[in-house]
Structure 1
Amino acid sequence: MDHSEGGRSCAELAFCFLNGRTRALNVVNLPLMYSVLNERINPYIDNISRSHSSYTYLEAQRCATVSIGERNLRDILGEEYPAFFTGGFLAAQLGVHSGYAENPALFLPAVHNPAHVQANATDKETWDQVSKTNGLPDDVRETAWNLTISARLSQDEIIEKFSPHVPRLSDAFDAWQETPLKNLQLTTVGIAIGHAHARKSGFVADLGIWID
């Protein structure tokens, strides 16, 4: 573990890049979601500095800027992986259309609350395709998706439900909230360094996705 200034900087850039700028594809079940989170937290979390001077250093090296605005890690996870960070909803909330909730091609028991249901899709684009293929009316499609994402788990609920499988998740939330990571905007240089450091831990993707 490299606790030098450079080692901390690389860990911070990789952590911010992976968790703030990328979305893992083909995450189709909770075990895969656990695996992705562990891969994006464990190699870096112990090297993330709580000192603001570390992020001033990133700015001085033109790797990032610390903006006024901030991004919440809970919201990032919920937006990128909505199917795994929802508590689901009651079928009765679909009103006169609640019968559609009995179709397993359209709805599944909610992953964190089997008494509820959720849209049978990992993202909005897939949901639109699945619902159209199975003849779900447009208004019901939008209502069901909105109910699914509006039931997003709180940070405390995420930590409670995921920590048995992702033991450093609470530390990741703390690091994000207690440091300028939540405000960090990576420059092209920062993206390139974060990407390169992430590759050392097994991340595979073409840098050209983020840099022309």
Structure 2
Amino acid sequence: MISASKQEQISGDNSNNIQATTVNINGVTYEQARQIALDVYKSNALELAGIAKDIATSRVEQFTERLLKNLAEKAPHALKSASDPDFQHSIFEAQKAFARSGDKNLEDILVSLLEDRACEYERNLKQVVLNEAITVSSKLTNSQINTITLLFSLRHTVHNGLQTIQQLAQLITNEILPFYNDMPDGDMGYRYLSYTGIATVDITKASFITIIRKVYQGLCNKGIDEASIRELIAEEPRVTNLFIRQPNSETNSFNSIISTGTQLQIHLKEIGITSDVFILKVINLLSANPMTDEEIKTQLVTVNPQIKSLIDKWDNSSAKNTILTPVGIAIGHANAKKHGLLHNYPLGIWIY
């Protein structure tokens, strides 16, 4: 499971098209929503000349068809948003961006953001954030979007169920390393993200290992001795299944099956343990015998030597000072979802 620190299906050439008569929510049919969206663009776009006009029009039609087909399949109730002035403004911003660039990756991000935005009927934080994310996305390159996704994955997601640091190294390999090559080498790229409102470049810094240790404190532990485990179980038998023997352990030590303090606290309360003193005692065991930073790094790099380059690049750039704003989180979430990294966990886990 992934948590915060809280499908795309497009009709192919041989697929059946969605008929206008099949979706009619609050008086807005698929065909009406399509016409509204296209009219919004035609009524507000700058008049281009010659071939540029034809290209832009074709792109807008392609983009609009894709968005509305996705909504009709996944959230037909959201088609009614086509008649909302604020949503029309967001559609127009996205249409303009794709009409100008024709960039497939940008189209993916904009469609994903608009799908989420269409389901927000009340003016709330998520709606405002999505509106801004749609507008700002056109100012970003694909490399910048991938950098945002790396920041999002490392700083804002927690993968529960990891039991060894080797599993953590594999997670880093699969979900963070793919974006490593797009990280800026100098400071200018991060300053630009700050300029757009995507992130802040803070005076404080967090090294790669510092973040890993904070998020996965139980995995950065040399192990819990058996005597401590027996003492806990004697006091509260319900924690018996919470600990497993460390693989290949020469010291007969144990680890918790839950590697983060927050999730461990939630789990203990779910099984009926309410004593704050006992809960704190269990959580403290996660970091009672910590590895050094170098030991953590060595274990990660042993699984995949490329992780060393990622750690070095993070620690020697402004990445360590960069924190995403809610707008950056929305864009990072959209791109992570596009790459199949979030198992369809909704944006509402992070922004609510």
Q: 2-side partners of 1:148 and 1:168: how far apart?
A: 27
What TM-score do the two structures reach when normalised by structure 1? 0.76
Q: Which of the two has higher C-alpha Rg?
A: 2
Please name the residue that 1:26 is paired with.
161
Is 1:206 the counterpart of 2:346? The answer is: yes
Is 1:166 the counterpart of 2:301? The answer is: no
SS in 1 for 2:259: coil
What TM-score do the two structures reach when normalised by structure 2? 0.49
Q: Which residues of structure 1 form unaligned runs of 5+?
A: none
The 3 A distance-change label for structure 1 pair 113 and 139 is farther
Please name the residue that 1:105 is paired with.
241
Measured against aligned partners, the alpha-carbon deviations of 1:144-201 in whole angstroms (never above 9, x if no partner) come to 5424313232232122212232332212221221111111121222112222222232
Measured against aligned partners, the alpha-carbon deviations of 1:33-56 in whole angstroms (never above 9, x if no partner) come to 333211222211111112101111
Match of 2:172 among 37, 46, 62: 37
Amino acid at match of 2:307: L
Please name the residue that 2:202 is paired with.
67
SS in 1 for 2:160: coil
Please name the residue that 2:193 is paired with.
58
Q: 1:111: how far off?
A: 4.9
Match of 1:186 among 324, 327, 343: 324
Bigger mean CA offset, 122-131 vs 75-84: 122-131
Q: 1-side partners of 2:327 and 2:269: how far apart?
A: 42
Q: Percent identity?
A: 22
Considering Cα pairs closer than 8 Å and 6+ residues apart, tell me whether 1 or 2 has the greater RCO: 1
Please name the residue that 1:148 is paired with.
286
The 3 A distance-change label for structure 1 pair 194 and 112 is farther
Match of 2:333 among 190, 195, 202: 195
Is 1:122 the counterpart of 2:262? The answer is: no
The 3 A distance-change label for structure 1 pair 118 and 35 is closer
The 3 A distance-change label for structure 1 pair 26 and 141 is closer
Contact 1:163 1:169 in 2 (8 A): yes
Contact 1:90 1:117 in 2 (8 A): yes
Q: Which residues of structure 2 form unaligned runs of 5+?
A: 1-104, 106-139
Q: How many residues align?
A: 205
Measured against aligned partners, the alpha-carbon deviations of 1:6-25 in whole angstroms (never above 9, x if no partner) come to 23311221111110011123
Q: 1-side partners of 2:213 and 2:240: how far apart?
A: 23
The 3 A distance-change label for structure 1 pair 25 and 147 is closer
Q: Which structure features the higher share of helix residues?
A: 2
Measured against aligned partners, the alpha-carbon deviations of 1:117-151 in whole angstroms (never above 9, x if no partner) come to 33454344447856997x9x986764454243132
The 3 A distance-change label for structure 1 pair 146 and 127 is same
Contact 1:18 1:40 in 2 (8 A): yes
Q: 2-side partners of 1:117 and 1:181: how far apart?
A: 34
